């Protein structure tokens, strides 16, 4: 049974997401200084991100590096796959569209995560979050329409990045009892394995490798570590007075008639009890019997 996160824990999670967003926003500055091919950029950054996260796993995981990777499970592997997709398409998208488009769509990921949590996990969404989601959807639509001139990849890559990133947030939120740090580290291994055959590391300059290191360790490694920590400590949309998800509403509709009949039955029984107590005369019980007669 999930325990609702405390207000202090939720605040820490929000701060972690804010700092992670700041770290991720630095990718645009680094990417603009690279001369390597897009595939080399993705693989080079993922290589250093893997090494940085491997150090974090070695320090934080009690079961050790090998044991933590063995205990990933289905949810951990799913998170690793979608996080690999998100991180790879993020840097690729910077090569085909503006930094503003990519970062704006990335900022919409928590809103999409709240929507997925509402649909799949029946988490509650506050009215303010619904309004924010609506405004974000309008902004995303405007960004998408304005990106068609730059080509199909300028539209598809940011959308895939946002959707996969939202799934990562939901998985990390849903499985707070499972350490997702090894899965985060494994995601960068997947990126290197998939993209490395298309990369050209020999063509990367010394400056490129310096930027790879900075992006991999600080922008990706530090940012992803904060993201996993935040997703494990806060709800996608914590709101006590909000609308339940569709699953919860369907459950309520299924149990509604029987619940109403039960409540009606209890009401009739209570009314009849009050009526009997008012209408039935009080019976006098003898305190002592002598010779068969009350004394």
Long-range contacts of 22-29 (CB under 8 A, 24+ apart): 23/218, 23/219, 23/222, 23/223, 23/226, 24/90, 24/103, 24/106, 24/219, 24/223, 25/103, 26/215, 26/218, 26/219, 27/90, 27/91, 27/94, 27/215, 27/219, 27/220, 28/94, 28/99, 28/102, 28/103
Q: What is the pLDDT of residue 10?
A: 65
Distance separating alpha carbons of residues 195 and 47, to the nearest angstrom: 11
Structural domains counted in the chain? 1
Confidence class for position 138, pLDDT limits 50, 70, 90: confident
Span 144-163, pLDDT tens digits: 676 666 678 888 888 898 88
| Each residue's pLDDT tens digit, 29-40 | 888 889 999 999
Lowest mean pLDDT among 50-59, 79-88, 93-102, 246-255: 246-255
Q: Is the pLDDT of residue 176 over 50?
A: yes
Query: Whole-angstrom Cα distance, residue 251 to residue 248?
Result: 5
pLDDT digits (tens, 9 = 90+) for 160-175: 988 898 888 888 777 7
First to last CA, the chain: 63
* Residue 92 belongs to some domain of the structure: yes
Sign of the CA dihedral running 198, 43, 202, 30: positive
Residue with tokens 């207000």: 7
User: For 225-267, what is each residue's pLDDT tens digit?
Assistant: 776 666 555 544 443 334 455 555 555 455 555 444 544 555 5
Of the ranges 86-95, 138-147, 171-180, 276-285, which is most confident?
86-95
The CA distance from 222 to 212, in Å, is 14
pLDDT band at 292 (very low <50, low <70, confident <90, very high): very low
264 domain residue, yes or no: no
User: pLDDT value at position 280?
Assistant: 47
Q: What is the pLDDT of residue 191?
A: 95
Tell me if 270 is assigned to some domain. Answer: no
The pLDDT tens digits for 3-28 are 445 566 667 777 777 777 777 777 88
Buried b or exposed e, range 157-183, using 16+ CB within 10 angstroms: bbbbbbbbbbbbbbbbbbbbebbbbbb
Please give the residue range of the domain that contains residue 24.
Answer: 9-231
pLDDT: is 291 or 45 the higher one? 45
Other Cβ atoms within 10 Å of 221 Cβ, number: 25
Instruction: Please check whether residue 252 lies inside any domain of the structure.
Output: no
Alpha-carbon span 115 to 109, nearest angstrom: 10
Minimum mean pLDDT among 26-30, 113-117, 270-274: which range? Answer: 270-274
Whether 193 is covered by a domain: the verdict is yes
> Which residues fall within 8 angstroms of residue 69, CB to CB, at 6 or more apart?
182, 185, 186
Q: Is 148 within a domain?
A: yes
Tokens 């709240």 -> residue: 114
Please say whether the beta carbons of 146 and 50 come within 8 A: no
Average pLDDT, rounded, for the chain = 75
What pLDDT is attached to residue 265? 52
């Amino acid at each position: 049974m999930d325990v609702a996160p405390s207000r202090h824990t939720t605040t820490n999670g929000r701060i972690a997401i804010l700092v992670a967003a700041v770290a991720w926003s630095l990718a645009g500055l680094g990417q603009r200084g690279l001369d390597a091919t897009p595939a080399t950029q993705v693989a080079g950054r993922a290589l250093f991100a893997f090494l940085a996260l491997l150090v974090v796993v070695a320090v934080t995981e009690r079961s050790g590096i090998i044991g933590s990777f063995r205990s990933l499970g289905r949810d951990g592997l799913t998170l690793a796959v979608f996080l690999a997709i998100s991180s790879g398409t993020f840097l690729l998208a910077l090569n085909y569209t503006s930094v503003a488009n990519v970062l704006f769509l990335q900022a919409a990921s928590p809103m999409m995560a709240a929507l997925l949590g509402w649909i799949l996990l029946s988490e509650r969404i506050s009215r303010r979050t619904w309004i924010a989601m609506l405004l974000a959807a309008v902004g995303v639509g405007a960004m998408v329409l304005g990106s068609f001139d730059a080509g199909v990849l300028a539209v598809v890559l940011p959308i895939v990045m946002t959707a996969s990133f939202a799934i990562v947030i939901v998985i990390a939120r849903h499985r707070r009892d499972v350490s997702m740090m090894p899965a985060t580290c494994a995601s960068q291994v997947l990126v290197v394995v998939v993209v490395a055959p298309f990369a050209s590391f020999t063509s990367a300059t010394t400056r490129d490798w310096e930027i790879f290191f900075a992006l991999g360790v600080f922008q990706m490694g530090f940012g992803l570590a904060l993201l996993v920590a935040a997703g494990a400590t806060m709800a996608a949309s914590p709101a006590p007075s909000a609308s339940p998800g569709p699953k919860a509403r369907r459950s309520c509709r299924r149990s509604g008639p029987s619940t109403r009949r039960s409540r009606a039955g209890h009401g009739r029984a209570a009314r009849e009890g009050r009526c009997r107590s008012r209408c039935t005369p009080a019976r006098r019980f003898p305190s002592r019997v002598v010779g068969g007669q009350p004394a």
